[in-house]
Structure 1
Amino acid sequence: MGKEKEKKNSRLDPTAWIIFSSLIIDLVGFTVILPLMPKLLDHYSSTGGSSMSFLESTVKTLQQMLNIPVNFNSVMTGGVLGSLFSILQFLASPLAGCLSDCYGRKPALLLSMVGIASSYALWLVSDSFAVFMIARAVGGVSKANVSLATAVMADITDSTNRAKAMALIGVAFAIGFIVGPVTGAAFSAWGVSSISAGNWWFWPAMFSLTLAILNIGYIACFFTESLPLDKRAKSPQFSQTWNLVNPVSLFKFQLAADGIPNNDLVKLRILGRVYFMFLFLYSGLEYTLTFLTHLRFNYNAAQQGKMLLFIGILMALFQGGLVRRVKPGKEKVIALIGLGVIIPSFVIVGLSNSATVLYFGLALYSLGSATVIPCLTAMTAAHGRADQKGAVIGTLRSLGALARALGPLISSFGTSY
């Protein structure tokens, strides 16, 4: 009888599956661009333009100062763009979390999704590099929906099923990384052979825009607010705006520190540091991987798509078969296993000189990425009151965005050597 009750309590609220579906739609659209990025930068470099020329001249100056080979300039340029996107996400995530604590998750989610759709609309018409940069900037500012989705999962779960809910977010990421890059590669191959190859990115951008619009309608119609009025914050914490952008305050979880016991606050800060360091290293490899294989193995968009498909399938298997079955209180053990395998994966991928070695390193990389993030997020979401979940998760996601802002930039310089 006790086991049946425990099993019933561990079942996820239907809202979790709505969020899961919405994340898949969002992440498929978001990851379409990944295998296209090296080719997009090559295109804008060949067509020129003042914005691209300025960025390339800045990169060239750094290349000369640091004695970096010229053929790695595209890696460095990609790192700069990746950092731009993530630094804006870093600024936006905790703000969106705080607003959602006061006004509800649904309005904040819809506002974020409208911004994401706008970024794809700008990409659709980005005949110049300047417009493309604006599109990426709008996307970075608007990309708070994952943070908000995590806060929703924290709203509707407890210690018996929180790890399962966070693993569901990880599975959504894995599916996104399976479908999105393969779709982007297919669009790229089709666009190159089409008559309108001059603006070959039009159809992948249109595909992402269509998914974003469908996602807005889906959430508007089917998502029920997860944060009741009586559990919301009385007002947005605009008086603590500095805490939203100050890394020192973020590492201290200053925005959510009020009312949290000191012992829990210490645990939160430790989790925040581990989360930051993991994503700093992880995002560096994640963002430069397509550039590395493009330069070292001469991979085209189709081969990039296959590689990302391999990573996505393994992540889905690990998260669906391992993380979703984690028992309450065992998240730390699984996270430690993930941290233990991610380090050798970086070394193997970095030193790989054949596809076999590369894919072995990517298998370890997939295991680490599939386990660490959902387990750390579940452990973090256990702290704080209901009206603080948005601030707690928003701060964690912001630390992750800060790590993602620095990781690609530092890694692109490291890769260049």
Structure 2
Amino acid sequence: MNIKNLIILTMITLAVIITAAVLNQPQTTTISESKKLFPHLLKALDRVSEITVSTKNEVATLTRPVEGQWQLKEKHNYPVSPDKIHKLLIGVADLVTLEAKTNNPKLYSKLGVEDITAEASQSKLLTLKNAEGKTLASLIVGNDKVAKTDPTLQEIYVRRAEDKQAWLVIGQLTVEKAAANWLNAKIVDVDSARVSKINITHPDGEEIAIFKTAPQAEEFQLAYIPEKAKVKMPHVLKNIATTLSNLELDDVTTANEITFTDDASTRAVFTTFDGLEITMVTMNKDNKHYAKFSAAFTPKAVWTEPQEPTQSATEKEQSPANPTEKVANKTEKKTPWQPKPADEINKQVETLNAQFKDWVYILSDYKVDDLAKKQKDLIEEESSTKAEKPVADEVGEPATAIEEITVPVEN
């Protein structure tokens, strides 16, 4: 073979290798984009300002004012969960088609993609619009199941609202049907370990006081226990103290729609060791538990570490001479508890009151049932063979103990 033919053969071989390499390059991005149900939606998500979820029986209109927080129109523009909004938008944009299904309207109900106006319809119509009212995506969401190829994904039957063709798609898409489920559910979150006392006033005027002697104390105690009586179920006191721990709403309404009356309301004042005071007023009306809240900072309620008594000269003389014995008798000193700074508590109060002021929350029964318990529900008679230890002995002088746990009743 002469040199000329060798060069030609080499060039042909090189061309074949390059062509093969190019053809074998991964085409994931291109294929994935081309198979997406809404190929151009991802780049337009920042322009979505309205999401409508419609079913046969209910409509939820989620709106976002310019540079504002998402809110629910049907619930007086109460804030909605930003996490649910984010997951919904990304979920729609990332839907990838697997295969075409029926385009026969008579078969839509089998996939759950019938029009929401159809009899016994279970479908959800999801519509995304921009600020100008232009529809960016509109989708009827039907039945779903766990994806065969990936248990973290769903296979979902869908149909574009303007299209007869139904599709099987894969992705992660959760569309809440009930409007209230879109709400930002968290009302307040106060760890029970931070709570120093709870003063409860019932509609009939009966008062109950629950307290802890120090932040490090394990158990809550009940004040004003009669002689020959004890707390029936100590865990109930702790349950009451956890009322504000990650408290979430079931629904919400505006403050001017519900009137709370003293003869039908239970008032619970939760005070923390660092002086945060949250008042929770609840009322049962039309088989619903309504609650309103307010917050304040009470500097005099801030707990301080008791000072250790100084050792007298006589005690020093009577101290063990052996250094080893000193170490053995010395109890381990815990790090003193430190309250949060006053400016931090004031800022929290300001944030909470801004959140509370316009709203009345609807709560599940189990979240407020313990607050309704009366003194007789919390105590029982002790055995006659067991001596009763007065409450005052546990918390200090009687006058001091009562002063610390009593909060004046507000009208």
Larger Rg: 2
TM-score by length of 2: 0.22
The structure that is helix-richer by fraction is: 1
Highest RCO, 1 vs 2 (Cα 8 Å, sep ≥ 6): 1
The structure that is strand-richer by fraction is: 2
